[in-house]
A and B are shown apart, each in its own frame.
Chain A
């Protein structure tokens, strides 16, 4: 009974490629998030969606484009990958827009760009 799932778990690719990470939650939550965690473990919010609508779009290169086909899914597409994109990307969800304090995280996708 996986609550928040992400695929793939590992992604190794070369500079310049385009890749996607998928996220699904079966908790019935309205709000979903994408985070980037760098090698120093700093968690940076990238995007947040509430019921398929974008509500947070932090300063992220426009090579990163999120898509939410329905409130249970939030995918992340990255164009023209760069070395600095190497990190662990986490998807998370929370019950409603006002419950950001309690988020449920997916297992993460470790992206390595060579």
Chain B
């Protein structure tokens, strides 16, 4: 079967750093994507890792280890507007296989 595991909820403090982990087991794997979705909004693309290592885009970074079937999204200098759900998704056979999402709660 195909599965992605990510925590259902993570809580952090404004200004802090938070890491959202994702482990996957899929039949085909080309890379790992991350999306952000605010309540009532649509998913928006954040980052994509096709190769092992760290990709940095401003305050957000994403990491992939293909040998461990593991990735994470790192959010730095957290702001209240980062409160949202974050989805990891495996790029597999011309489609994305989605995780169930992690709700990030940020406290002042």
A interface residue numbers (CB < 8 A to B): 33, 40-45, 48, 55-56, 90, 92, 97-98, 100-108
B100 and A40 contacting across the interface, CB-CB below 8 Å:
yes
CA distance A100 to B73 in the complex (A): 19
B33 partner residues in chain A, CB cutoff 8 A? 101-102
Bound together, the chains give a CA A42 to CA B100 distance in angstroms of 5
Total A-B residue contacts, Cβ distance less than 8 Å: 54
Number of interface residues of B (CB under 8 A): 21
Q: Are A45 and B95 in contact (CB under 8 A)?
A: yes
| Interface residue from B41, B42, B89, B94 paired with A48 (Cβ < 8 Å) | B94
Chain B contacts for A101, CB-based, 8 A? 30-31, 33, 48, 50, 89, 91, 96
Which listed residue, A42, A97, A98, A108, touches B42 by the CB 8 Å rule?
A108
